[in-house]
C-alpha cells in the first residue's frame, strides 16, 4: 500500500472514531459465536454421559480440537497475508462453527463428536488471527486498547450468557413430553428422554452461529485488503523482529503456567465439597466461574482505555502479575484449607482481571512490534504459541495435582507464570 493510501486510511479511521462499524460488527459477531459454542461446552459432558462415553474421551477430544485450532491459526495468518481475502476466510471460519454443532447434535458415538468439535475448532483457529488483524487496522494506534477492550468485552458476554443459556434451555427441553407421549417430530427423529433434550439444545445453538456469519458479512469491512504473493512461510517466520520473538517466548513460558480455568472450577468444587456437599459445591463453583466472566466483561474496556494512555506492554505485565497471584492464592487455599465462598470469589475476581488484560492486550502489543504486511501471520504465531502452551499447562497442572497434590500443581503454575512475567520485563527493557 502506498504512502498516500496509508495517509488516507489513517484519516478515515480518525474521522470514523474507534467505535466504528467494523469494531462493533466484530464484537457482535464474536458474541454470537460464543453463544453458539459455549452453549455446547456446558452441556457436552452430560451429553457424553447419556451416550455412555467415558470422561477420558472428552479430554482426548478437547485436546485434539485445541491442537487443531492452534496450528490452524498459524496457517490462516500466512494464507491471509499471502493471498488476501481475509474477510472471506473469517466468514468461512464462523460458518464452520454451526456445522460442527450440527455434527455433534447428530452424534451417537465418539467419532462424530470428535469430528464436530474438530470442525468447530478449526473454524475458530481460522478466523481468530484474521478477525483481530481486521479490527486492529480499523482503528488508529492510539485507540487500539479501547477497540480490543470493547471487542473482548462483547466476546465475553457470549461466554457469560452462553453457559447460562445452555443450562436454562436444557431445563426447558427436559420439560417436553418425551418417550411414548412425544410429538410426532420427536418420534420421527427417534429422540428419547435421555438424549432428546441435549440434541434439541444443540440444534438450537446452531441459530446464533448462523447469525454470527450474517453479522460479520453485513457489518464488518476489511479496511486494508492487501496481498503478498511472494511471502514465504518459513523465511517470513525467521524474518519476524527479534523483539517479537522474545515476546513470543515470554508469552509461551507464561502460558505453560497459565492453566485452564476449568481446573480453577474443579479446585473450588473440591474445596467447598467438605462443607457444602458435592451438588451445592458444583453449583457454587459454576456461579464463581460466571462471576469471573462478568468481571472480565466489566473491566475489558477500562483496561484498554488505561493501556492507550500509559502503554500496552506495562499494563500487560501488570496483568501477568495478577495471573501469578491467582495461582499462588489457589495453592494457598488448598494448603490452608480455606472454604470461604467470599475468599474464593476474590480469587475468581483476580482471575477475571488478568484474563481481561491478557486477551485484550497481547494482540495490541503484537501490532506494535511487527510490520502491517505480516500482521495476520504474527497473530497466527501468537495464537499457536498460546494454544500449545495452554495445552501443556493444563495437562501438566492436572497431572501434578493428581500424582502429588493440588498445592504443588498450582505452585508450579505460579513459578512458570512468574518466569514468563520476568521475561516480559526484559522485553519491555529492550
293-332 per-position pLDDT tens digit: 889 888 988 998 899 999 999 999 999 999 999 999 999 9
| Residue 389 shares a structural domain with residue 255 | yes
User: When comparing pLDDT for 339 and 97, which is higher?
Assistant: 97
Q: Say if CB 330 and CB 347 are below 8 A apart.
A: yes
Residue 426 lies in a domain: yes
CA of 193: how far to CAs of 73, 197, 281, in Å?
A: 39, 7, 27
Task: Please state, for a pLDDT cut of 90, what percent of the chain lies above it.
Answer: 29
| Residue 58 shares a structural domain with residue 95 | yes
pLDDT given at position 180: 53
User: Which cell goes with 393?
Assistant: 499447562
| Residue 299 shares a structural domain with residue 371 | yes
pLDDT given at position 45: 66
Residue 233 lies in a domain: no
> 181-200: b or e for each residue (b if 16 or more CB lie within 10 Å)?
ebeeebeeeebeeebbbbbb
**Whose CA is closest to 191, among 288, 50, 83, 66?**
50
Does 95 score more than 90 pLDDT? yes
pLDDT given at position 11: 45
Q: Say if CB 46 and CB 194 are below 8 A apart.
A: no
Q: Say if CB 282 and CB 266 are below 8 A apart.
A: no
CA 421 to chain centre: 21
| Residue 349 shares a structural domain with residue 404 | yes
Residues 6+ apart with CB under 8 A from 297: 153, 156, 157, 160
| Residue 281 shares a structural domain with residue 355 | yes
| Residue 323 shares a structural domain with residue 354 | yes
Mean pLDDT along residues 208-221 = 92
| Residue 275 shares a structural domain with residue 407 | yes
pLDDT given at position 223: 66
| Residue 155 shares a structural domain with residue 266 | no
Q: Where are the alpha helices (DSSP H) in 137-191?
A: 144-174, 184-189
CATH assignment of the domain containing 360:
1.20.1250.20
**Whose CA is closest to 344, among 269, 406, 411?**
269
Residue 25 lies in a domain: yes
Classify 5 as helix, strand or coil.
helix
Domain boundary among 150, 184, 217: 217
**Whose CA is closest to 100, among 117, 123, 76?**
117
**Does the CA dihedral 18-24-29-35 come out positive or negative?**
positive
| Residue 288 shares a structural domain with residue 140 | no
Q: What confidence tens digit (pLDDT) does each residue in 255-294 have?
A: 999 887 778 888 888 888 888 876 677 678 878 888 888 8
- What's the number of domains the chain is made of? 2
Domain boundary among 182, 217, 252: 217
Which stretches of 273-352 are assigned E, i.e. beta strand? none
**φ and ψ of 103, to 5 deg:** -65, -40
pLDDT given at position 52: 79
pLDDT given at position 338: 80
Mean pLDDT along residues 152-180 = 77
Q: How sure is the predictor about 352, in pLDDT bands with cuts at 50, 70 and 90?
A: very high
User: When comparing pLDDT for 405 and 63, which is higher?
Assistant: 405
Mean pLDDT along residues 185-190 = 55
Does 413 score more than 90 pLDDT? yes
Which stretches of 205-356 are assigned E, i.e. beta strand? none
Residues 6+ apart with CB under 8 A from 35: 158, 161, 162, 165, 205, 208, 209
User: Which cell goes with 329?
Assistant: 492464592
Residue 163 lies in a domain: yes
Residue position matching grid coordinates 486498547:
145
Residue 372 lies in a domain: yes
pLDDT given at position 4: 41
**Whose CA is closest to 154, among 271, 343, 301?**
301
Residue 49 lies in a domain: yes
Residue 170 lies in a domain: yes
pLDDT given at position 66: 75
| Residue 144 shares a structural domain with residue 281 | no
| Residue 60 shares a structural domain with residue 24 | yes
Mean pLDDT along residues 154-165 = 80
What domain range includes position 72? Answer: 18-217
CA–CA separation, 348 and 325 (whole Å): 11
The DSSP secondary-structure symbol of 373 reads: G
Residue 223 lies in a domain: no
List the single range of 136-150, 185-199, 302-316, 410-424 with lowest mean pLDDT.
185-199
User: Which cell goes with 405?
Assistant: 497434590
| Residue 40 shares a structural domain with residue 152 | yes
Q: What confidence tens digit (pLDDT) does each residue in 2-41 have?
A: 444 444 444 445 445 778 889 999 999 999 988 887 777 7
List the single range of 76-85, 379-388, 411-420 with lowest mean pLDDT.
76-85
Amino acid at each position: 500500500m502506498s504512502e498516500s493510501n496509508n495517509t488516507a486510511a489513517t484519516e478515515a479511521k480518525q474521522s470514523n472514531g474507534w467505535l466504528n462499524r467494523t469494531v462493533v460488527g466484530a464484537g457482535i459477531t464474536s458474541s454470537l459465536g460464543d453463544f453458539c459454542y459455549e452453549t455446547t461446552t456446558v452441556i457436552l459432558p452430560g451429553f457424553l454421559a447419556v451416550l455412555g462415553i467415558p470422561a477420558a474421551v472428552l479430554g482426548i477430544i478437547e485436546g485434539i480440537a485445541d491442537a487443531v485450532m492452534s496450528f490452524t491459526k498459524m496457517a490462516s495468518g500466512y494464507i491471509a497475508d499471502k493471498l488476501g481475502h481475509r474477510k472471506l476466510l473469517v466468514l468461512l471460519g464462523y460458518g464452520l462453527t454451526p456445522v460442527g454443532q450440527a455434527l455433534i447434535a447428530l452424534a451417537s458415538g465418539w467419532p462424530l463428536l470428535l469430528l464436530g468439535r474438530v470442525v468447530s475448532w478449526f473454524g475458530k483457529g481460522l478466523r481468530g488471527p484474521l478477525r483481530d488483524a481486521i479490527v486492529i487496522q480499523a482503528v488508529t494506534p492510539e485507540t487500539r486498547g479501547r477497540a480490543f477492550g470493547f471487542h473482548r468485552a462483547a466476546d465475553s458476554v457470549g461466554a457469560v450468557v452462553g453457559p447460562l443459556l445452555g443450562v436454562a434451555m436444557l431445563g426447558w427441553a427436559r420439560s417436553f413430553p418425551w418417550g411414548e407421549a412425544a410429538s410426532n417430530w420427536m418420534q420421527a427423529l427417534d429422540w428419547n428422554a435421555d438424549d432428546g433434550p441435549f440434541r434439541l439444545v444443540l440444534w438450537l445453538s446452531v441459530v446464533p452461529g448462523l447469525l454470527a456469519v450474517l453479522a460479520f458479512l453485513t457489518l464488518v469491512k476489511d479496511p486494508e485488503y492487501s496481498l503478498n504473493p511472494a511471502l514465504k512461510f518459513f523465511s517470513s517466520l525467521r524474518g519476524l523482529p527479534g523483539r517479537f520473538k522474545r515476546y513470543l517466548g515470554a508469552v509461551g513460558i507464561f502460558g505453560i503456567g497459565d492453566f485452564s480455568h476449568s481446573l480453577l472450577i474443579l479446585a473450588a468444587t473440591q474445596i467447598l465439597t467438605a462443607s457444602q456437599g458435592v451438588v451445592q459445591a458444583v453449583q457454587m463453583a459454576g456461579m464463581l466461574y460466571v462471576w469471573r466472566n462478568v468481571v472480565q466483561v466489566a473491566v475489558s474496556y477500562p483496561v484498554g482505555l488505561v493501556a492507550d494512555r500509559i502503554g500496552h506492554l506495562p499494563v500487560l505485565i501488570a496483568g501477568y502479575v495478577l495471573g501469578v497471584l491467582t495461582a499462588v492464592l489457589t495453592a494457598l487455599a488448598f494448603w490452608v484449607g480455606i472454604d470461604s465462598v467470599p475468599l474464593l470469589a476474590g480469587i475468581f475476581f483476580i482471575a477475571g482481571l488478568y484474563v481481561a488484560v491478557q486477551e485484550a492486550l497481547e494482540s495490541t502489543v503484537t501490532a506494535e512490534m511487527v510490520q502491517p504486511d505480516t500482521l495476520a501471520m504474527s497473530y497466527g504465531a501468537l495464537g499457536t504459541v498460546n494454544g500449545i502452551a495452554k495445552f501443556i499447562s493444563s495437562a501438566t497442572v492436572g497431572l501434578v495435582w493428581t500424582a502429588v497434590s493440588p498445592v504443588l500443581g498450582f505452585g508450579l503454575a505460579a513459578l512458570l507464570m512468574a518466569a514468563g512475567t520476568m521475561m516480559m520485563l526484559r522485553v519491555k527493557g529492550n
